Structure 1
Amino acid sequence: MRLLVVYLVASTVLAVSGGIVFERQLRDGLITSMDTALQARAGEIAQVVPEAGTELNFQDEPERLTSSRATFAQIFAPSGELVEASEATGRRPLLNAAELATARRSAGYLTRRLNGEVLRLRAEPVARPTGKWTIVVGGSLEPSQSAIARVRRDLLAAVAGLVLLGTAGVWLLAGTALRPVERMRLAAEDMHVRDPASRLEVPATRDEIARLGHTFNDLLARLQEAMRRQRRFVAEAGHELRSPLAVLQAELELAAKPGRSRAELAAAVDNAAEESRRLSRLADNLLFLAQSDEGVPLARPQRLPLAPILSRAVDAVTKRACRRAVGLRVDAPAGITADIDPDRLRQALDNLLDNALRATPPGGDIIVRARRQDGRILIEVIDSGPGFLEGFLPSAFERFRRADNTRTRDGEGAGLGLAIVQAVAEAHEGSAEAANQPASAGAVVRIILPR
């Protein structure tokens, strides 16, 4: 309807404006044509004005003052007296004294109404030795006005027909163009976004509407994938929370039973505290990943050297590595600096070292290394464990994805460590990757940062 109203107003304004301009041009053209004819007629009549004397003689060419050519004429003597006139005008002067005085100075045109009829007049002076004579020739504008009136009626009819026909065309065209949009709207209204097969029917027109339909379908696919991931995330998070909660509940129930010794109560409290810490870490990790999904800024980078941060991360797990008889080594030149958030980078390193310690057998080694390569900075945690299964590598950074039991030597971990590493890397505008060392010499996980 808005398109129709806009077209109706615009076409009406344009058509009426064009009609007015055309009518004005036609009127000007007809008047110009008449003025040309009157000028020629005045030139003919000027020939009868004598070079000397005051007598006019039209006996040789009496038709010059007749009205056979649909024109009329009057001749004024230098004294201002009307000396000759066509029968159509009679003896009534067509010019008054002021107009006659003006005509004696220069030729000009006038429009005059006489006996209810609109006349076009040309008055021009004719210089003779006896003085300035004045010739007035004229003709009726009624034929021109009748023609203009007919043209006006025809234009109004044409404009009305054009506007009506164009309105019908715009209505049909707009309806045809927007009908696929309405079909897609109705389909979207009845659609359930949980249905993985839900898609809009896209018209095969290869135009903007078809591209809009494809865009909506792509958006729908992303929404469905996001909902699938969300449902999976919630289900797996609930599953991971269930185990420590069950253990915590069991320990508290055992501690509440009568007859428990002091040592047994202390052990139950220690186990409950450990499960509480595990729950706290899991909750923190889930919150961190949720903030990452929401686009919350996770890092506040600042230019810092990498070696001290890597050394502190290794120092934090040294006792645990000693208990497992695993060697730790830091390989980070002092000159390497990067724009990093030390707390977030430390969080990622803690997860990588925790995974490496659980995967490395006694007597193995873990290397934490920082180096430059191809304009980037690589932070690597390399272990001497069995490495990743090839089938695990493509999904290594997915949430709640655990490595096989041959690599994970205990039951700890919720499968969020590598997902957090990737989120930290992306928060620094970098990336993360996992791979195996050549010749089954263990696994390596890299955090790749821009220089």
Structure 2
Amino acid sequence: MRGQLLVLGVGGASIAVLTVLIAPAIFHRHLLETDLPLGSPELMHIEWAHRDALLIALVAGLVVSLLVAAAVIWSLSRRLRRTLAALGDGIEALSRGRYSARVPVLGAGAELDALSHTLNEMAARLDAVEETRGRLLADLAHELRTPIATLAAHHEAMADGVLSPEGVADVLTAQTTRLARLAEDLGEVSRAEEGQVPLAPCELDVQTLLARVEEEWRERCTASGITLRLQGPTAGKLGLRADPDRLAQILDNLLGNAMRHTPRGGTVQLTARDEGGHLLLVVADDGEGFTAQEGAQLFERFYRADAARSREGSGSGIGLTISRALAEAHGGRLDAASDGPGRGATFTVSLPRVAAAR
């Protein structure tokens, strides 16, 4: 505020000095053009009157201007200090981990208001990340609890002589394998969501892809009493540029998910078609389906639509999360739809036929 007042004072003084130096000379020249004799008392009185009136007006105007400017500067400075104090409090709260804190928008200017909005958006994102982290840790603890409890119980039983090592070998191996798979899936989904999965895209033929899927899944579907149907392009050769291993991983996750949620006698269908420069891979089943609320959570880590489903046979709950991340890594997307419980589910992978992988 002192600097602003100093600038105003210097500007006002400059205007006053220039006015005192220039205005009397101009006024004197105009007086000389009148009929008054040079050096007469009347001429001198008029010039002194003009100079006094000019100085009084300048001083009064300068004082009023300084007072008004000081009031305006004080008001703006007060608002600016309030805004900066609020911003400082918000940043301090964020630094202490209070991501729910928000900065009020006080109307201190477009730039500061934009900064407040940006800070609030950052706080909201940090809050969401913290909530996701907490939920992930809780889900991970829940996933680890069952195999660890099983291993502890069987080791205690062996130590007490209730069970023999040969009798529990299969159980111990299964639980150890489950823990290893969980660790591998966690690493996979973290790399996929962070865009760190290496891709090796190449030219693929969709018909060849479908033939590979049929060869790998036909026997498993038959053993489960499920009919597998594949439908490719009706005419011509449909090509795609993608990573064959990652694309197979996406389809394996989707087909495995469809089989787990389809009862014996049901049908799982994989359809490939071209639509608007994108290849659509649609996995549809006539199984359990899901509600709209469940559909919004399907791609969350460890989420299962049926909480009562056996965890031994339902996978790690990360397959759909990995599949969506891999589809996005190819520049595409993965969506899910269902008409409701008991009416089946449809998962659609949309991939650009032109390489768009990141």
TMscore range, shorter length: 0.7 to 0.9
| C-alpha contact (below 8 Å) 1:437/1:444 kept by paired residues | no
Write the deviation string for residues 19-41 of structure 1: whole angstroms up to 9, x where unpaired: 3442343144135336646xx8x
Identify the residue that residue 320 of structure 2 maps to in structure 1.
418
Shift of 1:170: 0.5
Residues 1:157 and 1:436: Cα distance change in structure 2 (over 3 Å): closer
1:11 is aligned to 2:2: no
Aligned to 1:347, which of 249, 255, 274? 249
Residues 1:170 and 1:301: Cα distance change in structure 2 (over 3 Å): farther
Larger relative contact order, structure 1 or 2 (CA cutoff 8 Å, min sep 6): 2
Identify the residue that residue 386 of structure 1 maps to in structure 2.
288
Name structure 2 gaps, 5 residues minimum. Answer: 354-358
Question: How many angstroms apart in 2 are the aligned matches of 1:439 and 1:297?
Answer: 36
- TM-score w.r.t. the length of structure 1 is 0.61
Residues 1:390 and 1:238: Cα distance change in structure 2 (over 3 Å): same
Find the residue that maps to 1:395 and give its secondary structure.
Answer: coil
Identify the residue that residue 433 of structure 1 maps to in structure 2.
335
Find the residue that maps to 1:386 and give its secondary structure.
Answer: coil
Q: What amino acid does structure 2 have at the position aligned with 1:289?
A: V
Question: How many angstroms apart in 1 are the aligned matches of 2:108 and 2:11?
Answer: 33
| C-alpha contact (below 8 Å) 1:425/1:447 kept by paired residues | yes
Shift of 1:199: 4.7
Find the residue that maps to 2:289 and give its secondary structure.
Answer: coil
1:296 is aligned to 2:195: yes
Which structure has the highest strand share of the two?
A: 1
Aligned to 2:126, which of 216, 219, 223? 223
Identify the residue that residue 141 of structure 2 maps to in structure 1.
238
Question: How many angstroms apart in 1 are the aligned matches of 2:16 and 2:38?
Answer: 29
Find the residue that maps to 1:400 and give its secondary structure.
Answer: coil
Q: What amino acid does structure 2 have at the position aligned with 1:246?
A: A
Residues 1:364 and 1:158: Cα distance change in structure 2 (over 3 Å): closer
Mapping of residues 355-394 of structure 1, within 5 Å = 355-389=257-291, 391-394=293-296
Residues 1:300 and 1:141: Cα distance change in structure 2 (over 3 Å): farther
- TM-score w.r.t. the length of structure 2 is 0.73
* Farther-moved stretch of structure 1 (300-309 vs 344-353): 300-309
Shift of 1:232: 0.9
1:23 is aligned to 2:20: yes
Aligned CA-pair RMSD: 4.4
Aligned to 1:286, which of 186, 194, 213? 186
Identify the residue that residue 224 of structure 2 maps to in structure 1.
324
Question: How many angstroms apart in 1 are the aligned matches of 2:348 and 2:105?
Answer: 44
Find the residue that maps to 2:186 and give its secondary structure.
Answer: helix
Write the deviation string for residues 391-413 of structure 1: whole angstroms up to 9, x where unpaired: 53332222222132798796332
1:276 is aligned to 2:176: yes
Identity of aligned residues (%): 30
Question: How many angstroms apart in 2 are the aligned matches of 1:193 and 1:316?
Answer: 49
Corresponding residue pairs, total: 346
Q: What amino acid does structure 1 have at the position aligned with 2:66?
A: V
* Farther-moved stretch of structure 1 (205-214 vs 380-389): 205-214
Find the residue that maps to 2:296 and give its secondary structure.
Answer: helix
Mapping of residues 109-128 of structure 1, within 5 Å = none
Question: How many angstroms apart in 2 are the aligned matches of 1:423 and 1:329?
Answer: 26
Residues 1:24 and 1:298: Cα distance change in structure 2 (over 3 Å): farther
Residues 1:410 and 1:373: Cα distance change in structure 2 (over 3 Å): farther
Find the residue that maps to 2:301 and give its secondary structure.
Answer: coil
Structure showing greater Rg: 1
| C-alpha contact (below 8 Å) 1:325/1:364 kept by paired residues | yes
| C-alpha contact (below 8 Å) 2:202/2:242 kept by paired residues | yes
Identify the residue that residue 70 of structure 2 maps to in structure 1.
167
Shift of 1:220: 3.5
Find the residue that maps to 1:380 and give its secondary structure.
Answer: strand
Question: How many angstroms apart in 2 are the aligned matches of 1:167 and 1:365?
Answer: 80
Aligned to 2:302, which of 377, 383, 400? 400
Q: What amino acid does structure 1 have at the position aligned with 2:135?
A: R
Shift of 1:446: 1.2
Residues 1:278 and 1:259: Cα distance change in structure 2 (over 3 Å): closer
Write the deviation string for residues 403-430 of structure 1: whole angstroms up to 9, x where unpaired: 3279879633232222222222233333
Residues 1:17 and 1:296: Cα distance change in structure 2 (over 3 Å): farther
Name structure 1 gaps, 5 residues minimum. Answer: 41-67, 73-139
Identify the residue that residue 69 of structure 1 maps to in structure 2.
37
